[in-house]
Amino acid sequence: MASPVINIRDTGRNSPRTGDVRGLSDNVVHSWTSGTTGTIAVTAAETYDVTLTQPADTIIRNLIAIPAGNIVTAGASGDDVDFDLGTSAGGGQIIDEKAILDDGGSAVTWTANVPLYIIQNSHGHAANAFVGTGVTAGVYGGPATSEAIVIASTLYSSSARSIYARLKPLANNLATAATTVTYLVEFLHLGVLPD
């Protein structure tokens, strides 16, 4: 028995209808913003803040941090680089001071141009999630050790608001810095955007 011939113009069961695609695009809208720190010195306890604007009726979907150069901790326990995300500078309302470079006695490196998804698909991460050890773990050049990234409050905002990303090297001076970090933030819009 011959197989039936299917006209390629037929939609078939796995082809989306135009109306479905339009409906999806009307209701799933993403936007991005970005900001870059000033030059990060090696000095411990200095803070590097970037102010970003979250649009109304959105959820933070992804927050990616990318250094322009290597950032290396000093190599003594407690020489971390902490990340903080808040609705006030250093407030920690969303993520409260978590070490994205967690120095437990060995220097930790965040390699230049390596993106760290600090928030990914509106989720945090387990400890040491950035180390590139396999197909599904981390990225090549990511920090070998990091604390768990815990989302402390809602990523949703009904009104536009400022959010503040902060990096802070702790304890001793960094071994290497003199670079900047750029943040890319993706927002998922829950309502339909106006025309």
Query: Is residue 14 in a domain?
Result: no
Full-model pTM: 0.82
135: domain CATH number is 2.60.120
CA–CA dist 154, 70 (Å, integer)? 32
* pLDDT classification of 137: cutoffs 50, 70, 90: low
Query: Is residue 8 in a domain?
Result: no
Query: Is residue 173 in a domain?
Result: yes
* Range(s) of the domain holding residue 180: 31-189
**How many residues does this entry show for the chain?**
195
Query: Is residue 9 in a domain?
Result: no
Residue 8 has pLDDT above 50, yes or no: no
CB 63 within 8 A of CB 50: no
Average pLDDT in the chain:
86
pLDDT tens for 14-26 read 666 666 666 655 5
Count how many Cα atoms sit within 13 Å of the Cα of residue 92 in the half-sphere of its side chain.
9
Residues above pLDDT 70, as percent of the chain: 81
Query: Is residue 115 in a domain?
Result: yes
Q: What is the pLDDT of residue 88?
A: 96
Query: Is residue 6 in a domain?
Result: no
Q: What is the pLDDT of residue 11?
A: 53
Query: Is residue 108 in a domain?
Result: yes
CA–CA dist 122, 57 (Å, integer)? 15
Query: Is residue 95 in a domain?
Result: yes
Q: Total structural domains in the chain?
A: 1
